[in-house]
Structure 1
Amino acid sequence: MWRRIALFGGCLFLAVAVFGSIKAYSAKVKDADLSKTTPILLVHGTHGTENSFNGMISRMIATYGHSSDKVIITVKKDGTLVYDGTLSDKSKNPFIQVVFENNDAPIDQEAKWVDAVIKDIQNKYNVTQFDAIGHSNGGLALTTYAEKLADDAAPVMEKLVVIGTPFNDLDEEDNAATADFIDVANRTEALQDYIANNGKLDSKLQVLSIAGDLDDNQVSDGVVPVQSALSSRLIFANQVASYSEKIVTGSNAQHSDLHENTAVDAIIANFIY
């Protein structure tokens, strides 16, 4: 009896040793080589989930045919990255969706998580360049990353799309009801910080800012004032290779619906592809 237990224990130890070594080895093997394509990184806004960009990703793949495959990277509260999905060497402009388990974290923390994801996909997939799309505060996290955390060793962010991003916060008193402005009604501390650091942006970056105008009166998308979203011009214009703006109007321009709007899909596809 004892011999059988000892034998079983020895076999179990051997199995753990073998499979443990396989797991460790597999972790070092790149899942795919994406060095010859441009992945598209997506970052949701506050309280967003993996469902935030699911619809847009599916529509973009089906409608435009310039992207294939997607992977979801969940950033756990302790910073651990969990991958769901598989990419291959044949993946074309694949979508890499970033999901924060703590989806109400400060922007600076989200930017650090974005930085961790970018470094990980550089190692895992040999990513050398990428495009990025951020909805709402996801656009702030990407902008903070671009200004404060990106370095010469990191993959190059070639194009950035910000959708309904509150660069000058949400107060209508700080944001007049007009899209035709040289400056906002009042610069918030956050906007001033973005402007102060815009000299650190990559001069080759291309930026598209999309604002929602729910009632076609240049007030807001129901959450973010149009002027706040378009105060991106004070940050990016004359600092990057190209900067453009689009205003989407109508009932589908509501803040949470912007990434479910096919007009927004088309604007992004025209810019990204």
Structure 2
Amino acid sequence: MRNKVYFPFLVILLSIIVMGCGNQENTRSVNENQTTNEEQSTNTSEKMSSNSDSSDPLTTHQTAVPTLFIHGYGGTAGSFNGMLSRFEENSWGKSELTLTVQQDGFISGIGEWRNEPNNPMIQVLFADNKNNEWNQADWIKAVLVYLKQTYQIEEVNLVGHSMGGVSSFRYLVTYGDDDSLPIVNKFVAIGAPFNDFVTGNEEQSLDALIQDGPLVISQRYNDFAAGIQQYPKDTPLLNIVGDVQDGSDGDGTVPMRSALSIGHLMQTNGIEYHEEIVTGSQTSHSQLHENTQVDKLVADFIWSTP
């Protein structure tokens, strides 16, 4: 009789251990200076909800200026496929091209550039999707050179998630004053750790962060501060930050204070800056680009009717 009780107990105990290991693996955060790995991210848009009424109609101004979508660390086409599909369903934009950048800067593309006023969307993929932000900034430059030489594109918008936002900002503070490159009209960062993952700013109020800058700064933030004069003065930034409201003050991966720290540099240098904090259980880092509230914020900022 005792053996019959002992065997089910072992099965239950082993199940708990396996489940615990799985949860630990799924919640593992990034190491060193990289942002989250998006390899396991899937299109879960049909499961998402938001804190705003996403059914409110949004009328977009249709132009031929392309918007580039740049994934985060470890990201793939799945990172932005859901958002781009929802934009098309809402008639906010039209997917035109997917460009893949190799390590040497060589670019291959699929799709067709029509040069029509349909808010064209271009997804940018890095073949080496776990490389550093310096190389990614150079690859973003290569994409813009390619678009200008191949399609005579003179203006673009940038949308970057996580490290894609960091690399886009690094591009702007490195090459933003280069007149030979297409102009970046608008820039949206989603869950971007602009002050990396340093500790020591947890007790600083958000008001003090914006007014005075972070108490503890990373090398990344130092670089941005040193290069902010190269950031194009006419390129407004919309900074979308997630807060899952679980006591972590962030999206479960990127602390709010890291993401919001860039506001101090932007505002003290007279550059147009907007920030939006989206809250709720469905605003975790890998879900931000699947959130319909984020969809509306991005579309309204990029394509709002003049």
Q: TM-score, normalised by structure 1?
A: 0.82
C-alpha distance 176-138 of structure 1, shift in aligned 2 (>3 A): farther
Q: Deviations over 1:88-147 (max 9, x none)?
A: 133522111110111111110000000000000011111111110010111111111111
Query: How far apart, in 1, do the equivalents of 2:271 and 2:197 lie?
Result: 28
Q: Per-residue deviation at 1:149?
A: 1.9
- The answer on whether the counterparts of 1:42 and 1:95 sit within 8 Å (CA) in structure 2 is yes
User: 2:289 — aligned with what?
Assistant: 259
Equivalent AA in structure 2 for residue 233 of structure 1: G
Q: Give % identity.
A: 35
Query: How far apart, in 1, do the equivalents of 2:151 and 2:203 lie?
Result: 44
User: 1:200 — aligned with what?
Assistant: 230
Residue 93, structure 1, aligned to residue 119, structure 2: yes
Query: How far apart, in 2, do the equivalents of 1:256 and 1:177 lie?
Result: 26
User: 1:71 — aligned with what?
Assistant: 97
User: 1:13 — aligned with what?
Assistant: none
User: 1:242 — aligned with what?
Assistant: 272
Residue 209, structure 1, aligned to residue 239, structure 2: yes
Comparing 191-200 and 234-243, the one that deviates more: 234-243
Q: Deviations over 1:11-36 (max 9, x none)?
A: xxxxxxxxxxxxxxxxxxxxxxxxx7
- The answer on whether the counterparts of 1:211 and 1:226 sit within 8 Å (CA) in structure 2 is yes
Over aligned residues, Cα RMSD in angstroms?
Answer: 1.7
Equivalent AA in structure 1 for residue 79 of structure 2: S
Query: How far apart, in 2, do the equivalents of 1:216 and 1:245 lie?
Result: 21
Q: Which of 108, 125, 148 is equivalent to 2:174?
A: 148
- The answer on whether the counterparts of 1:75 and 1:98 sit within 8 Å (CA) in structure 2 is yes
SS in 2 for 1:133: strand
Q: TM-score, normalised by structure 2?
A: 0.73
SS in 2 for 1:186: coil
Q: Which of 113, 130, 134 is equivalent to 1:104?
A: 130
Comparing 81-90 and 237-246, the one that deviates more: 237-246
User: 1:20 — aligned with what?
Assistant: none
User: 2:153 — aligned with what?
Assistant: 127
Equivalent AA in structure 1 for residue 277 of structure 2: I
Name the larger-Rg structure: 1
Residue 163, structure 1, aligned to residue 190, structure 2: yes
User: 1:190 — aligned with what?
Assistant: 220
User: 1:28 — aligned with what?
Assistant: none
- The answer on whether the counterparts of 1:177 and 1:217 sit within 8 Å (CA) in structure 2 is no
Query: How far apart, in 2, do the equivalents of 1:177 and 1:116 lie?
Result: 39
Q: Deviations over 1:25-72 (max 9, x none)?
A: xxxxxxxxxxx7210011111000011000001111212x23223211
C-alpha distance 185-219 of structure 1, shift in aligned 2 (>3 A): farther
Query: How far apart, in 1, do the equivalents of 2:138 and 2:105 lie?
Result: 9
- The answer on whether the counterparts of 1:174 and 1:188 sit within 8 Å (CA) in structure 2 is no
C-alpha distance 137-49 of structure 1, shift in aligned 2 (>3 A): same
Query: How far apart, in 2, do the equivalents of 1:75 and 1:207 lie?
Result: 25
SS in 1 for 2:78: coil
SS in 2 for 1:41: strand
User: 1:7 — aligned with what?
Assistant: none
What are the ranges of 5 or more consecutive residues in structure 2 without an aligned counterpart?
A: 1-62
- The answer on whether the counterparts of 1:72 and 1:99 sit within 8 Å (CA) in structure 2 is yes
- The answer on whether the counterparts of 2:166 and 2:193 sit within 8 Å (CA) in structure 1 is yes
Aligned pairs, number? 237
Equivalent AA in structure 1 for residue 69 of structure 2: L
